[in-house]
Amino acid sequence: MAPSRTSTVKSKHATNKSGIKNSKTTNKTRAGQNGDGVSKPKSAKSKKTQSKGVSLGSVTGKGSALNKLKKKRRIYTEKELGIPALNMITPVGVEKPKGEKKGKVFVDDRESMLTILAMVNADKEGQIESKMMKARQMEEIREARKVEADKRVEDRKSKLDEAKEGLRKKRKRAAAEKKEDGESVSLEAGTKPMRLRKKSVSFA
């Protein structure tokens, strides 16, 4: 299949005689020559283009057009494109900004050392302060908890004491009642105490 038949090629530089149907130049020349839509008076300019078109037909003209094509294509250098030299990620530590001092930067003057020292001291002060605050808060919480626990223990103890007292009173009352009852019973029936004596068995 000849390339001239393809309709998809839309080269900017495709000329009239290249055989490409949709190329700009062909369209232009057609519009100028045939005047399909708009009729333009034939001027010297159009004549010129016509004559050019004729000259392009010659063998030497074809060669010059090709040369033009080659000249027109701009060749970019790698710098202009900005493509990295190696197509890979450069680690942070490896890439160093240009124009900066190589190696370590020393701190030897008193002023910068004092600045660093002041920063460090302020930081430490803050840390100690926060530690103290935290310790104080914890201490308060601990104290409150201790007081609460003491109170609970005391409550429980008092409740227990009350219960004990109640039981003691009840027992006293019951004993007193019993005593009274026993006295009255003994008074009523004199033979009863004999029955209360437990039976015992003795060997030998």
Partner 1 sequence: MRPLTESETQTLFAKLANYTGTSLKNLIAPLDNGPNADRYVFRIQQSRCYYVRLSLSNLATSIARDKLLSLGTCLGKFTKSGKFRLHITALPILAEHARYKVWVKANGEMPFLYGGHIVKAHVGRWSDDCPEHQGVVVYSMNDTPLGFGVTARSTQEARRLDPTGITCFRQADCGEYLRDEDSLFATS
Binding site for partner 1 (CB under 8 A): 104-108, 110, 112-114, 116-121, 123-124, 128, 131-132, 135, 139
- Measured distance CA(153)–CA(144) in Å, rounded: 14
Return the number of the residue (139 or 181) whose C-beta is nearest partner 1: 139
Return the number of the residue (124 or 145) whose C-beta is nearest partner 1: 124
At its nearest, how many Å lie between partner 1 and the CB of residue 99? Answer: 20
CB 192 within 8 A of CB 182: no
Return the number of the residue (21 or 146) whose C-beta is nearest partner 1: 146
Which residue type does 11 have?
S
At its nearest, how many Å lie between partner 1 and the CB of residue 169? Answer: 43
CB 26 within 8 A of CB 20: yes
At its nearest, how many Å lie between partner 1 and the CB of residue 107? Answer: 5
Return the number of the residue (80 or 109) whose C-beta is nearest partner 1: 109
Non-local CB neighbours of 154 within 8 Å, separated by 6+ positions: none
At its nearest, how many Å lie between partner 1 and the CB of residue 145? Answer: 14
At its nearest, how many Å lie between partner 1 and the CB of residue 131? Answer: 4
- DSSP notation for 126-170: HHHHHHHHHHHHHHHHHHHHHHHHHHHHHHHHHHHHHHHHHHHHH
Return the number of the residue (113 or 185) whose C-beta is nearest partner 1: 113
- Measured distance CA(92)–CA(95) in Å, rounded: 6
Of 18, 51, 20, 21, nearest to 33 by C-alpha is: 51
